[in-house]
Amino acid sequence: MFSTLAEFGLVQVLMEPIAPFRVVSVTPGWEKLCGFDNACIAGGTLSVLQGPLTDPAAVARLVDAARHLRRATVRLINYNAKGEAFEHDAFVDVLKDPCGTVRYLQTTSLVLQPPGCALTKPSPLQTPRLAHLMLLSAIPVG
């Protein structure tokens, strides 16, 4: 199985918790995967990653979860700055401060097929719990 951490490092995006969910910052792993640097994408939205094989229903599920400030997992085909498709599971989480106030939304990606692979449609999404466990098991401890 392809290793997201080995190839890209941690692939995460921090976003404002209100529509249109503007990007606050991205990790170097996200920059490497997507081809946009933090200075370029900050203040913009992730719609720049959408293309012909991006499933509008999956995007709608992510947006709905973000609007309602709840966790979600979706499988997406997105595109990097060169227009190369990649497949990933996107995990959206709500980040709160110690008082319980929502501060950010965070998306972490588990890359299933890196840019440059021939993709025609997303592969079936495993159960969100299993996919989340796969992501956690890929993160080194200690």
Q: What is the pLDDT of residues 9-66, one digit of tens each?
A: 899 999 999 999 999 999 999 999 999 999 999 999 999 999 999 999 999 999 999 9
Residue type, 137: S
> Which pLDDT does position 8 carry in this prediction?
87
> What distance in Å separates the CA atoms of residue 132 and residue 50, rounded to the nearest whole number?
23
Q: What is the mean pLDDT of the chain?
A: 86
DSSP 89-110: EEEEEEEE-TTS-EEEEEEEEE
Position 114 pLDDT exceeds 80 = yes
Tally Cβ neighbours within 10 Å of residue 72: 20
Per-residue pLDDT band at 123 (split at 50, 70, 90): low
Complete domains list, the chain, with CATH: 4-138 (3.30.450.20)
Position 136 pLDDT exceeds 90 = no
Q: What is the mean pLDDT of residues 62-84?
A: 95
SS (H, E, C) 4-58: HHHHHCCCEEEECCCCCCCEEEECHHHHHHHCCCHHHHCCCCHHHHCCCCCCHHH
